[in-house]
Each structure stands twice: as structure tokens, then as C-alpha cells.
Structure 1
Amino acid sequence: MTENQVNQVSSAEEEVAAICRDLIRIDTTNPGNHSGPGERRAAEYVAGLLSEVGLAPEVLESHPKRTSLVARIEGEDRTRPGLLIHGHLDVVPADAKDWRQHPFSGEIADGCVWGRGAVDMKDMDAIMLAVARQRLREGRKPKRDVVLAFTADEEAGGTWGAQFLVEQHPDLFEGVTEAIGEVGGFSVSVGDQRLYAVQTAEKGIAWMRLKATGTAGHGSMIHNDNAVTKLSEALARVGRHQWPTQLPDATSQFLTRAAQALGVEFDPQDPASVIGKLGGMSKMIGATTQHTANPTGFKAGYKVNVIPQTATAELDGRFLPGREEEFFAELDRLLGTAVSREFIHHDVAVETTADGDLWNAMKSSLNAEDPEGIVTPYCLSAGTDAKWFSKIGIRCFGFSPLRLPAELDFPGMFHGVDERVPLDSLRFGVRVVDRLLDIC
């Protein structure tokens, strides 16, 4: 990077923390329905920042206050396929009494910006905005068209955000073939090395409501047709089931790289031997070595001496890429014939390969800022808006680059308490994303 480029990027580095703080202070809590404050205020704030530098963002509302925003930056070569950079504006709920800093304060303490969304994912939203504003002020076009999308509702499956955009406004993504979004490109300290985990796959989602039906009656009598008993037994079978180890390619590649960093051999039949040495990353990677199905709720009855006719429960299922059919076959066997299921939310697994020009550009951009970093694919155990964008033919990666302190439990802060992002990591992200737009 030339001295002139350093100067060009410096104001974006200075601005990124302020934007991140402003976004955190706008409460966009998404409780999973329309009872939250919505994303409207945040979308209007983003629209204002982009309008200031000459863009004409489209603000789109799928339901009152459930608001997304899309803007296109013209590239040097408009005949090339476009790149989508997407981030969501909503956050999960937070209880202030559990936090060291108020979750909607955007406080700066201990070299970090604190608050709900600091890592999921108003940090990347701020990086996107800071880089775009600086480049537009200076007239520096990206190599190709870049579409910026700031979405609603990602934390509840994207129905009112990314799904609404791809189904009702697909023209906004015309010519776009690749995308980068959240939960990737962050550093993981393994041994004395830093691995940069770029997401190339994510598990599918099956949030389900289960139901058992029996015969209502008096609680004092012998009762062999009890809906509560039927459902409880089925939930216990599912919750205690040991799913077989099956490694997606991205998980296998990540664990192979991690084993090399640790100086040990990787045995695909015993991934736990490496996973156990990954610190905070162990839960995220461990969940991608098998399907998961976790009971998360149970409802039955209305009086202690009344046997209810029905019992219901909620189940969070996540299936590995390419293995959806086998997941449901095994789940139905475990549930048995006495329990029915219906989807609360069902979405695909996503998987691509670690190759191509965009992959090489992400790798080059990271290594330019951290020459000792090792870039590796990985599979995400959760889900992102990439699921919706992949349905219109866009190849998606998780790439929100951050160089993180070794002691920071970054994966543990997703939906956790005391969520925070280091100021130095935000500035690192600005430099990497700016560089990426220069070379891809």
C-alpha cells in the first residue's frame, strides 16, 4: 500500500468506530416477531451516511418498521459480474443487568466498542459504511459494481429482510454473482499461529414445533394415553441421541490447518482431539462435525389435576451440508409415530469451495495486513442471510475481517453478554475490505 493509499484509508479508520457506536445505540432488538423496535431508524441512519457521499440508496419496508436498504456503487468495469456485501441491522435481545457496560450504550472501554451487535454484526456494517464513504469521497471506484445490502430480520431467519429482498426486489441484485457477509475472516489463535477462518459453508436450519395428542382426563386416575408422557419420551430420545461424526469439507480443512498449527496429526475419526484445543472456537467447530437437534421449549397443561389432551415442544435442528434427507429420516425415527412435527422455520445448508478470484482476493487482502496469518475455510454451525442470497445464484462467503487478540473469546460473544469489538480490529477490517475492493 502506498503512502497516498494509507492517507486515503486513514479517515475511514477514524470514522469506523463512531459509526459502529451510533449503530449500537439504535436499538434494533429482534424478538422474533414484530413487537420489537424494528430496523427503520438504523436503515434511515445508514441511508443518510450513503446519501452524503452521492449514493441513492433504496429503503424498503416489508412490514411497518421492518426495514432494509440496498445501494449500488458503480465499478470501473461494469461488464464484470457484481459483488454483494451484506450485513444485517437487527440484533438479538439483551438484558442490561447482565452486562458490564450497557448493551445499547456503544461505550468505549478497554480498547473496545461495547454493546449488542458489536460482533453480530454492526461491526461489519460500520466497516462497510466507512470504506464506502471514504472511497466515494475520493472518487475511487471498486474494480466491479458493488451492491451494499443492510437487511432486517436476519436473527429470526430473514423472512422480513433478505427473503423479502430476493423475492420482491431481485432486480437490485442483477448481475451479482458473489457475496461476502458475516461470520468469517476473523482470526483464531491456535498454538502460536493465527488462522483466519473464512466461511465457505453453513449448516441448514430446521426449527420445529412438535406435538403429541392423548386423552384428556382427571389427574388422579390411571392414564396410559398421556400426551405429556409421549412427548417427553420422544424429546429425551432426541436430546440424548449421539449423531455420527461426519465432516464437511470445510470443517475437515479447518481442523487439518489447526492440527498443523498445533504440531499434531489430524485424525478424521477423532476430531475431538483437535477441537478440544481450539478454546472459544471449539463449540462452533465442534457443532459442524455432526447434525444437532436440541429441545428448546415445552408446553402442556393448564391445571395440576388435569391431564391435557395435547403437549407441544420446540426443537432447534441443524443439518450438515448435503445431508438433509438423512437428518430428517433419523429425526423421525427418534420421534416415533406418536409425535408429529411442523416447521417454524426451515432453510437450506450452504456450501461452496475455497477457490476462485474472490477467494484469492480475500486471502491476499488478509495476508497483506497480516503476512503470518493462515487463511482457511470453515463451516458455520449457525445460519446467515447467505441462505437467501444463494437462492438467486449468488456464491456466498462469510468474510467480515478482524484481527483479534488471542485472549478474546470472539465466538462466545455471539448472542452472549459483554459483546465487544476491539478498536484495532475495526481498523484492521477497514484496511482489508478497502484492499479487497481494489483487487477483486
Structure 2
Amino acid sequence: MDSLANPVPLLRDLIRIDTTNPPGNEVACVRYLTERLAHRDDLDVTVLGPSADRANLIVRFPGRGVAPPLLLHGHSDVVPVTGQDWRHPPFEARLVDGEVWGRGSVDMKGGIAMMLSSLARLHEAGQRPAGDVVLAVVADEEHGSIAGARWLTREHPELFTGIRYAVGEEGGAGIELGGRRFHPIVVAEKRACWLRATLTGPGGHASRQAPAHTAMGRLGHLLTALSGVRLPRHREPAAERMLTELAGHLPEPLAGRLLAVRDDANDAPPAGLPEDQSLQIDSLLRNTVSPTVVRAGDKINVVPGEVTVDLDGRILPGDHSREEFLGELRALIGPDVPLELLVEGFPVDQSRIAEPEFGGFYETLADITRKADPDAAPLPMMSPASTDAGFFAQLGIRCYGWLPLKVPAGSPYRTLLHRADERIPVEALEFGTQCMTALLRDHR
């Protein structure tokens, strides 16, 4: 069996364990990892979850005692591949032209492989981390964390006692902007606010002329109201810090355009950028909502009396509330559409807790990336997405998104999360594992 110190075969094994959520079945991944760690008698291994098949793995690796305990967290579940056209089968984990292909290669079994390989490298070198490391491989992140981090932090907070800092997903993967490479370090992130809108109207036989106020007609109005919408602008310290540092590393006129986004009274999207980058930056300045799932009838000759639409809402960090977001949404769709709250995450904003968001631990992460990739710059980032960090932050843990990946210029890897042909270069895995090893060995 390959050593755990090599992230490539470890990642390929993890991809081959199908943990598509729903249903998840993360226990298969937990069993595999538990077996791989069984040769170590110095580890404290805990497996628990709300049900037998939704298992979470918590492993404490002993450190040297010169730093407080550090949490590494990653989720073992992955999103479905239904309806996606893959060039290589998504669960075969093929190694093609120096890349590992498969669902979860980036999000986020690749990150779990980097974490475990870093710990294995220290062990094989006869070294220990600076402080105890608690590795949490959790379930259900892709479906609200109800069986994972949300459940763990509520039912078993004692597993995380004494932990001061945490490192998880979302940051790290290199960003190219204006010819400059950046390594993001997530210091704040939006939180999910998932809703279900229910539209009702007269149903009946589809052979007859239908009135305008059917559920399907109301669906058309709802989707039109939410198409390409930009909710009101809000100023957030983390986003403004990100834009300021970005501009400081870029030439004109791009630097000026980014600063204008920060200060622009006209609230225009950033100009002169590729559309995906412009939209990501614009998403950091406001709450967002996207219709994602529509459920209606299942027979072509029946006009459905009810249609539901799932809405992926994302709320800015800090003091921004669900009520504020719902008010902005109601201004678009009207007061009469019933809305059911499905999932709401917890806010993560380093600037609103006692430890400064750019304190010593942040600088350690930044220094490691500078040394590993001198041609790039570390970047404090606010993420438009949400992770399990929000749940661990409720325990007083300072959470950062940092999984360093050095990828070729113009590479698509950041855009492949949740899409077909997800893959990761072997060199990027090695780069991230080396950075993670340095962090575990030297952090304070």
C-alpha cells in the first residue's frame, strides 16, 4: 500500500469512494481512512455522527506542545454528477497528463489528501507538529452540514476544546489577475440562506387554455424577477481590504478600476475584467440569490397546481441579517410568495472577533506562500461561498480558508468546482502538501 505521505494515490482512493450527497454515505470514506491510520498507536481516533451512514472522523495527532492545538477540517461528501458530460468517468480517478480527474479532486478530497499527507510526512521524518493537530473529516458540507460540522459543534463541542485556529477549504487555489498570481487566504465568507418558494395556481387538463395565474405562469414571473439581478450594495471591511491589496499589486488602469469598485457611488461592476472575475468581485459587495432547482408536474398533459423553486441565497458576513436579506428579496418578488427557510449558516468574519483578522497566524500563512511561490502575492479574501468554518467559528476558533495550489497560468481549476471534468494537477497537490507541512511544523 502506498505511503500516506504521497497525496496522489491517497486522493485517487478517496475519489473512488462515491460519497455523492445526497445520500452521502460518508461512512465508507471514514472506514477507509480509519484503516489507513490503524498502524499509528499514538492517535486519538473518534468516529461519530447522527446516523450510522453519516459518519464524521475526528483524529488528534500529538504535537510538540509549543503551539496551541490547530484544527484542520475538510468534508468527505461531494456534489452529484447527474446531467454532466465528463471526458473521463468521475469516480475512476484517472491520472491523465499529470492531472488527477474525478469528482472531489478539488472540492475537497484533494484538500483532505494534502492534510493527511502533510501529517504523514512529519511522522515519517520523526517529527511532530508544533501543537496537537485535530483533523476533522466531516459529512454533509454540500447539503447544509446538518449531519456534519453543524451536528458536531452542537453535540460534541468538547472535541475542539483549546483549539485557537482552524484551516479549511476555499482559499489557496491560485488566482491570475492582470498578469499577476495571487494565493488567497480566506478571512471572511458569506453564509448560506437557502429558501424554497412555493407557487400555486389552478391546475387541470393541459389540453385546455390555461389562465395566466397558473403556478407555471407565476414561475415565469419569479424567474424573470431574479434573472441577472443585483441586490443593494453594502460596504464590508473584508471586501474593501481585499480590493485595496489587489489594486496595490496591479498596474494601471486595472488598479484604478478595482479601487473605483470599492468607492464607486454608481455601484457599477468592475470593468475591464473577464466576466467570471468581475461577477465574483461584484458578489462580495452585496447579498446574492440564485434560483437553482424547480419542481413541478411529472405528466405532460397535466397543468401542475403547485411549483416549488429552491433559492440559493448568500448573506454578507458580520451584522447582516436574514431579515435584511429577505427584505431585499421581497422587494423583487413581492410579499405574497411563501418562502420556507431550508438552511442558514453562521457568519464568519475575523474582523468582528477579538483576534485581529491579520494577526500572527494570518502572517504565518502569508509568509509560507511567499516563500513557496515568490512570484505570487498572498491575498486576504472574502469568499462569496460558505464552508463549515462558520460552525467552528461559533466555538471561538479563528477560521481561515487556506489550501495552497500552484496552478498554471490561465488554468480552469477554480472554475471546475461542482462542474464536469473536475481535476487537479499532481504538481499542485505536491505544492499544497509542502506548504501544509511547513505550517504544521512551524506555526505558533
Q: Same fold (TM over 0.5)?
A: yes
* Residue 125 (structure 1) shift: 0.5
Q: Which of 290, 305, 323 pairs up with 2:320?
A: 323
How many residue pairs match? The answer is 423
* Residue 312 (structure 1) shift: 2.5
* Residue 214 (structure 1) shift: 4.5
My pick for the range that moved more, 219-228 or 113-122, is: 219-228
Code of the residue aligned with 1:273 in structure 2: it is P
Partner of 2:350: 352
Q: Are 2:84 and 2:420, in contact at CA under 8 Å, matched by a contact in 1?
A: no
Structure 1 distance, partners of 2:427, 2:212, is: 63
1:423 has 2:426 as partner: yes
Partner of 2:95: 108
1:287 has 2:283 as partner: yes
Question: What are the ranges of 5 or more consecutive residues in structure 2 without an aligned counterpart?
Answer: 352-356
Q: Are 2:75 and 2:108, in contact at CA under 8 Å, matched by a contact in 1?
A: yes
Structure 1 distance, partners of 2:290, 2:240, is: 24
Partner of 2:365: 362
Q: Which of 33, 40, 43 pairs up with 2:30?
A: 43
Structure 2 distance, partners of 1:329, 1:376, is: 33
What is the correspondence of 1:150-165 to structure 2 with a 5 Å cutoff? 150-165=137-152
SS at match of 1:186: coil
Partner of 1:401: 404
Partner of 1:272: 269
What is the correspondence of 1:80-159 to structure 2 with a 5 Å cutoff? 81-95=68-82, 98-159=85-146
Q: Are 2:58 and 2:136, in contact at CA under 8 Å, matched by a contact in 1?
A: yes
Partner of 1:7: none
> CA offsets, 1:201-235, max 9 Å, x none?
11121111112344567775785764444454344
Distance 1:240 1:22, change over 3 A: closer
Distance 1:225 1:104, change over 3 A: closer
Code of the residue aligned with 1:323 in structure 2: it is H
Q: TM-score, normalised by structure 1?
A: 0.88
What is the correspondence of 1:206-225 to structure 2 with a 5 Å cutoff? 206-214=193-201, 220=208
Percent identical? 37
Distance 1:224 1:17, change over 3 A: closer
Partner of 2:394: 391
Distance 1:417 1:216, change over 3 A: closer
Partner of 2:354: none
Q: Are 1:30 and 1:156, in contact at CA under 8 Å, matched by a contact in 2?
A: yes
Structure 1 distance, partners of 2:159, 2:422, is: 33
* Residue 148 (structure 1) shift: 0.5
Task: Please give the root-mean-square deviation of Cα atoms over the aligned residues, in Å.
Answer: 2.6
Structure 1 distance, partners of 2:223, 2:410, is: 37
Distance 1:48 1:222, change over 3 A: closer
* Residue 46 (structure 1) shift: 1.4
* Residue 279 (structure 1) shift: 7.1
Structure 2 distance, partners of 1:231, 1:94, is: 26
Structure 2 distance, partners of 1:29, 1:23, is: 12
Structure 2 distance, partners of 1:285, 1:432, is: 27
Code of the residue aligned with 1:60 in structure 2: it is L
Structure 1 distance, partners of 2:442, 2:359, is: 13
Distance 1:258 1:357, change over 3 A: closer
Distance 1:311 1:57, change over 3 A: same
SS at match of 1:106: coil
SS at match of 1:87: strand
Q: Are 1:82 and 1:145, in contact at CA under 8 Å, matched by a contact in 2?
A: yes
Structure 2 distance, partners of 1:43, 1:305, is: 47
Structure 2 distance, partners of 1:409, 1:64, is: 37
> CA offsets, 1:1-29, max 9 Å, x none?
xxxxxxxxxx876x111111111111111
Question: What are the ranges of 5 or more consecutive residues in structure 1 without an aligned counterpart?
Answer: 1-10
Partner of 2:226: 238
* Residue 90 (structure 1) shift: 0.9
> CA offsets, 1:112-160, max 9 Å, x none?
1111111101111111111111222333222222110001111111111
Partner of 1:3: none
Q: Which of 247, 252, 263 pairs up with 2:251?
A: 263
Q: Are 1:203 and 1:350, in contact at CA under 8 Å, matched by a contact in 2?
A: yes
Q: Which of 407, 430, 435 pairs up with 1:432?
A: 435
Code of the residue aligned with 1:22 in structure 2: it is D
Distance 1:337 1:231, change over 3 A: farther
Q: Are 1:142 and 1:438, in contact at CA under 8 Å, matched by a contact in 2?
A: yes
Code of the residue aligned with 1:16 in structure 2: it is P
SS at match of 2:44: coil
